[in-house]
Amino acid sequence: MASIGQIIFWSMIVLIFVMAGFIILLLAIAFSRSQSFVQSSDQSPVGNLGQDVVLNCKFNPKLITGMQTNDVSITWTKAGLTRPVYRYQNQAAQLQDQDPQFKGRTQLFPDAIAGGNASLLLQRVSMVDEGVYQCSVSASGASGSVSIHLWVAAYSSPTFSRSMTTLTAEAPRWFPKPNVTWTVYQGDVLNASTEFFNNSAGIFTVVSTLKLPAHTNETYTCVIENTLVVAVSQATLTGDSGLTASTDYSFNSATPSRRYLHLLLIAPLLYSYFLT
Ligand SMILES: *[C@@H]1O[C@H](CO)[C@@H](O)[C@H](O)[C@H]1NC(C)=O
Ligand SMILES: *[C@@H]1O[C@H](CO)[C@@H](O)[C@H](O)[C@H]1NC(C)=O
Ligand SMILES: *[C@@H]1O[C@H](CO)[C@@H](O)[C@H](O)[C@H]1NC(C)=O
Ligand SMILES: *[C@@H]1O[C@H](CO)[C@@H](O)[C@H](O)[C@H]1NC(C)=O
Ligand SMILES: *[C@@H]1O[C@H](CO)[C@@H](O)[C@H](O)[C@H]1NC(C)=O
């Protein structure tokens, strides 16, 4: 009969092996990710309607046999389309069978290809461009692909104007419909009235007006936010009519893979936490 002590001892041994195996698996996944031939530093870019966007894709030329970058072929495809978005082979664009949706709107960066840059420049982004793209690269001894989810929104910085008693932010192009929040100091929320004007294409103009106390010298923060984009503007009032403003953007389209990487980073911490 095994004593309680022995049972606990062997349970601990088994547990340690299982945990160690788990950690090795996680490290192997992390390692294979960092070593893969084709990667993207932004797997969920947000394009601004009507403007250009770069779909980021890079490959490691050191993994090509003899570093023969002359025979690199790059193919961009989009889920749901049978014809390619862009194809590059024999050191030239091969666009005979390109999907008509992308005609005249795509290019690579030819001078940068030998250095491992397979990024696609997509011009004049439209709503139908939204979707999952695949960047595939093959060369002697190496091949791989990465998928990139392009989101499309419309966003623009507000311009500010002030009167004696009001501060108004007006932003001409937003989609999807955003909400607007004004704060002052360390985040005290202010009451403002916001109107949306919807043009024929369904794009919104945002006009938001804040009532000001007399003779204010504050910095007001105006946040215009929709499901994809957050625009944070700081408007500083000085004297009776002075006004300076700036806007920073961030994007709400975090990918599952980024969350997954966080998990990889905290896993060893959890592991050591449970062991001690
Ligand atoms: C590729 O080159 C273009 C143009 O120089 C640049 O905008 C882009 O960031 C580069 N992408 C990568 C992955 O290096
Ligand atoms: C904001 O406006 C609403 C409706 O006009 C009003 O009920 C509320 O008291 C106001 N809040 C502040 C902090 O002024
Ligand atoms: C915006 O305008 C378009 C065309 O006028 C209309 O079809 C659409 O329903 C409007 N959208 C909203 C949210 O009002
Ligand atoms: C504003 O919109 C964002 C994105 O759609 C949402 O996450 C947030 O909760 C909204 N805030 C308010 C106050 O409605
Ligand atoms: C605002 O700033 C101006 C110039 O910097 C100054 O003359 C004025 O007294 C200030 N007003 C308030 C209410 O602080």
pLDDT of residue 52: 98
CA 41 to ligand 1: nearest atom: 13
Mutate to test the pocket of ligand 5, among 212, 217, 237, 243 (most ligand atoms within 8 A of CB): 217
CA 198 to ligand 3: nearest atom: 1
Higher pLDDT, 26 or 58: 58
Task: Centre a 10 Å sphere on the Cβ of residue 55 and count the other Cβ atoms it contains.
Answer: 25
Structure tokens at 136: 């595939």
What is the pTM assigned to this prediction? 0.76
pLDDT band at 194 (very low <50, low <70, confident <90, very high): very high
Mutate to test the pocket of ligand 3, among 198, 204, 206, 226 (most ligand atoms within 8 A of CB): 198
Single residue among 104, 138, 153 that ends a domain in this structure = 153
Higher pLDDT, 13 or 87: 87
Residues 176 and 207 in one domain: yes
Alpha-carbon separation of residue 102 from 3, 18, 40, 147, 212 (angstroms): 72, 50, 21, 18, 49
Point out the least confidently predicted range of 14-23, 88-97, 121-130, 149-158: 14-23
Q: Residue 263, exposed/middle/buried by CB under 10 A (0-12, 13-18, 19+)?
A: exposed
The pLDDT tens digits of the residues spanning 144-190 come to 999 999 999 999 999 999 988 899 999 999 999 999 999 997 778 99
Residues 192 and 101 in one domain: no
The residue contributing the CA closest to ligand 5 atom 14 is 217
CA 196 to ligand 3: nearest atom: 14
Whole-number Å distance, alpha carbon 240 to ligand 4 midpoint, is 33
pLDDT of residue 272: 56
Cβ 217 under 6 angstroms from ligand 5: yes
Residues 130 and 22 in one domain: no
Cβ 213 under 6 angstroms from ligand 5: no
Could you tell me the residue range of the domain that residue 109 belongs to? Answer: 36-153
Residues 136 and 104 in one domain: yes
Arithmetic mean of pLDDT, 15-23: 84
Structure tokens at 169: 């932010």
Give the list of residues 6+ apart from residue 246 with CB closer than 8 angstroms, or none: 233, 234
Cβ 109 under 6 angstroms from ligand 1: yes
How many domains does the chain fold into? 3
pLDDT of residue 217: 81
Ligand number nearest CA of 112 is 1
CATH number for position 45: 2.60.40.10
Residues 130 and 47 in one domain: yes
**Closest by CA position to 237, among listed 169, 167, 180:** 167
